Structure 1
Amino acid sequence: MTPQRVTLITLGVADLDRANAFYGAMGWQVTREVPGQVAFYQINGMALGLFGLGALAKDQGRPGAALGTGAMTLAQNFGTAAEVDAAFAKALAAGATAHKAPEKVFWGGYSGYYAVPDGHVWEVAHNPFWPLNDDGSLTLPLADAG
């Protein structure tokens, strides 16, 4: 059986310096890096890696492949709608492009979306049904037994 976990998310980036500058403007700090090649950020029990697109394609065994950003969203949940608004504003100030300003959403929460300079889409959200742990991590509530 394969464990149900994610330990590292790696994003392909066109310009590693630009990507690091964006996350740095968000207040994130590089934990480990090989300058000009790859950078890693420690995040709540896992890591986020930034890797040049060409090097990532080669590492995947697909040299020369045109890698895109894929049909996925990375998300950060926050304890309040005000924290969502602040995170969204900070991302835009750091160079992100707004896709959807934070607003009340159909499922009862509050969320918005932006894209970082390489096009990866992030959601910032407050979900009143998913309380966060003290360290900001998320443990999904168990489904109702009834």
Structure 2
Amino acid sequence: MQPTISVVTLVTDNLERAVRFYRDGLGLPTKGIVGNPEDDTQVAFFNLNQGFKLALWPRSSLARQLGTTVQGSGHMLSHNVTTQAAVDELVLAVENAGGNVLKRPHRQPWGCYGAYFSDPDGHCWELTYNPKYAG
């Protein structure tokens, strides 16, 4: 399987402020904030290069998805895969390699299928299968 990192997600305590900084301060292109804060789908995406995106996501939404608090600088790498089965396979590989599964594969509120894990040093990752963008 070819690894594909397509999104770097920064968690923020103030989504509106963060969007203003990246959009107005750094000039990054965005459609602005989309989604609904009530179901943790509120996010802002910034198109960078060759399909690579920066995402800003509220810390409170990530914490609810993981069922725990999220402290520190707050970042997450996203590995998009081409099938739901690939998410399941990679979660097993993560466990066998010493990673910590933070949330097992599940349907996400935004229509994807994914899981969360941290590597042995505590870096947070999301595995995602998005049927809208599948192979």
Report TM bin, short chain.
0.3 to 0.5
Higher strand share: 2
TM-score by length of 1: 0.42
TM-score by length of 2: 0.45
Highest relative contact order (Cα 8 Å, sep 6+), 1 or 2?
2
